[in-house]
Amino acid sequence: KNQVEQSPQSLIILEGKNCTLQCNYTVSPFSNLRWYKQDTGRGPVSLTIMTFSENTKSNGRYTATLDADTKQSSLHITASQLSDSASYICVVSAANQAGTALIFGKGTTLSVSS
């Protein structure tokens, strides 16, 4: 069964600290994976996409990694800011006979406190 599991479910850190969010998937065949950030009261916004051949990709203070062998991705946030408080959602493409489908994780809620 195609699944995307995210951990931790929630996380509280102090401003300025680093953190890492995890995404494990059992999607096959895998094509790519995208991280979204959802601020409170807003819709999710894409942060970055990881394709099968990519290991690491940075977008400012956000660095995503992908290990296709272990089927794991991580999102590392450096020097966290209050504005990083949000839910982070991992989404993976799954191909099947009917076409492709998006498999959503349940998200990690990050709270950055001062």
Partner 1 sequence: DTAVSQTPKYLVTQMGNDKSIKCEQNLGHDTMYWYKQDSKKFLKIMFSYNNKELIINETVPNRFSPKSPDKAHLNLHINSLELGDSAVYFCASSQVHGTVSSPLHFGNGTRLTVT
Q: Which residues bind partner 1 (CB under 8 A)?
A: 31-34, 36, 38, 41-46, 49, 51, 87, 89, 91-93, 99-102, 104, 106-107, 109
Nearer to partner 1 by C-beta: 13 or 95? 95
Taking the complex as a whole, how short is the minimal distance between the CB of residue 79 and partner 1, in angstroms? 25
Q: From CA 110, how far away is CA 21, in angstroms rounded?
A: 9
Assess contact for 71 and 26: CB atoms under 8 A: yes
Taking the complex as a whole, how short is the minimal distance between the CB of residue 99 and partner 1, in angstroms? 6
Nearer to partner 1 by C-beta: 91 or 112? 91
Taking the complex as a whole, how short is the minimal distance between the CB of residue 112 and partner 1, in angstroms? 17
Taking the complex as a whole, how short is the minimal distance between the CB of residue 89 and partner 1, in angstroms? 7
Nearer to partner 1 by C-beta: 44 or 75? 44
Assess contact for 104 and 89: CB atoms under 8 A: yes
Q: Label each residue of 39-79 as H, E or C.
A: CCCCCCEEEEEEECCCCEEEECCEEEEEECCCCEEEEEECC
- C-alpha distances out from residue 58 to 29, 54, 55, 110, Å: 25, 11, 10, 19
Nearer to partner 1 by C-beta: 99 or 114? 99
